[in-house]
Structure 1
Amino acid sequence: MAKYMLIMRGNDESIAKMMETPFDEMLTTMGRFNEELIRAGVLVAAEGLDDAAQSVVVDVSGPAPIVTDGPYGETKELFGGFYILDVASKQEAVEWAKRLPAFPGTKIEIRRVPGIDEFPQDNEWIIKERAWRERTGQL
């Protein structure tokens, strides 16, 4: 099994369509999908994000960080939420992403989340992180 993150990216069209949808209807649709993931035993985490207009951007490309009100860059492809699934393969992650109830114009990026076992186990910081994960029940 491997973890994959499904990153939901909206554009102006998909965000407008989402805003037209009654909130209860959206919750029901997403709730049904989430229930499928839970029943299949693959859901690790899932979160939607608040309105990008409420975001703050910290730009560290210059000599000193610059903080500005968001959203960052173009609204063509805003990061709107994510799922983390623990599945057998990238293809299985793709199959779940194809079933995700999304508004027209949404893109779903899929990226593998490397496990802690893939890093050098004798590294001081990996040892500390492993201990923290064990203390918090994540391992």
Structure 2
Amino acid sequence: MKYVILIHSNPQPWGHPTPNFLPEYEELTAEQRDTMNADFDQLLTELNTNGELVTGEALGDPATSRLFRWADGKPLVTDGPYSEAKEHLAGFFLIDVESQERAEEITTRFSGPGETVELRPLMWPGGDA
């Protein structure tokens, strides 16, 4: 079963890795941040070794996005982001796992202080929804 893990983050200021720009993360001690970074590296290694990580990418600043819609029967292109919001999509990881329970276990390990992480099943191919 394939799932996408969506990482949402505050766009101001924008940068990667996104936790480095979150007040909740900055309030942690250097030792706590180092431990979290090491744990995340270990998670990515585990997922690669298990063959569960398909891909992942960080996304650019939402202010650089372009929106494509239809208006008056023709395409209309405007500057992004899609909406004025406190959080924007910062990146994603595509995983291929045996069950929803495993996907949820992995996603829990992706979240950290001040972050919002969304788990969503793929519809096809290899998705169940």
Pairwise TM-score range, normalised by the shorter structure: 0.5 to 0.7
- The corresponding residue for 1:19 is 21
The size of the alignment, in residue pairs, is 113
Hey, what's the Cα distance between the residues in 1 that align with 2:110 and 2:102?
A: 13
Aligned AA (1:89): S
- Distance of 2:111 and 2:126 partners within structure 1: 33
2:111 touches 2:117 (CA, 8 Å); kept in 1? no
Q: Per residue, is there more helix in 1 or in 2?
A: 1
Runs of 5+ in structure 1 lacking a partner? 119-139
* CA–CA distance in structure 2, aligned partners of residues 90 and 19 of structure 1: 30
Structure 1 residues 117, 69: closer, same or farther in 2, change over 3 A? Answer: closer
Match of 1:4 in 2: 3
**1:10, CA displacement in angstroms?**
1.8
Q: Summarize the alignment of residues 37-56 of structure 1 with structure 2, pairs less than 5 Å apart.
A: 37-56=47-66
64-73 or 41-50: bigger deviation: 64-73
Q: Is the 8 A contact 1:14 1:103 kept in 2?
A: no
TM-score (norm 2): 0.68
Q: CA deviation at 1:45?
A: 0.9
Q: 1:103 to 1:60 in 2, by over 3 A?
A: farther
Aligned to 2:95: 85
Larger of the two Rg values belongs to structure:
1
CA distance 1:56–1:112, change in 2 (3 Å):
same
Tell me: CA distance 1:41–1:50, structure 2 relative to 1, closer, same or farther (3 Å). Answer: same
State percent identity of aligned pairs: 29
Q: State the alpha-carbon separation in 1 of the partners of residues 52 and 113 from structure 2.
A: 23
Shift of residue 81 of structure 1?
A: 0.9
The SS at the match of 1:76 is: coil
Distance 2:121 2:50 in 1: 19
Runs in 1 of length 4+ with deviation above 4 angstroms? Answer: 12-17
- Shift of the 70–89 alpha-carbon distance from structure 1 to 2, 3 Å rule, reads same
